[in-house]
Amino acid sequence: MVNFTRNKDLYKNLARQDKFSDRLTLFLLHFSFFLKNYKNEENRKILQEIYDFNFRQLELSIREIGYGDQTINKKMKDYLNLFHAMVGEIHFWENFTKEEKINKFSSFLTDFKNIEQLVSYFDDFNEKLSKKTLNSYLKSVSNP
């Protein structure tokens, strides 16, 4: 997911220099699509482990930035709420019109100028995910 999030093309329509929160938002969007595509009873345990690992790493990253415990707890709560909102918004992604997709992304990506480009990117990303197995991503055989 991190490699996908590092794609510089994702940030070219950002109205300013990207920040940690922008990269995190795009990471969480990637992760949302990842979970949406692979969520089933067979993958439940491994996806829970991936979820736990990602948010544990996020907390460690916030600590490394130098925030205090209270701030970390608040930020983690905010990021978890954002992530779960994203998961809810993209659950029926394939059924949405382009305009609906743009509206959904606009609420998460407020400083991006060309949301249409990101919608197209995530349409492609979603399609690629649907054509590959979870195991292919776990073994790092996919390139962004």
Average pLDDT taken over every residue of the chain: 91
pLDDT tens digit sequence for 128-142: 999 999 988 887 644
34-to-12, 43, 106, 113, 132 alpha-carbon distances in Å: 23, 12, 20, 25, 11
Phi first, then psi, for residue 17 (nearest 5°) are -65, 135
Instruction: Read off the pTM.
Output: 0.90
Residue 86 has pLDDT above 90, yes or no: yes
pLDDT tens digit sequence for 24-58: 999 999 999 999 999 999 999 999 999 999 999 99
pLDDT at 25: 93
Cα–Cα distance for residue pair 51/31, rounded to 1 Å:
9
pLDDT tens digit sequence for 97-115: 999 999 999 999 988 988 9
The domain spans of the chain are: 2-138
Q: How many CA atoms lie within 13 A of 57 on its CB side?
A: 11
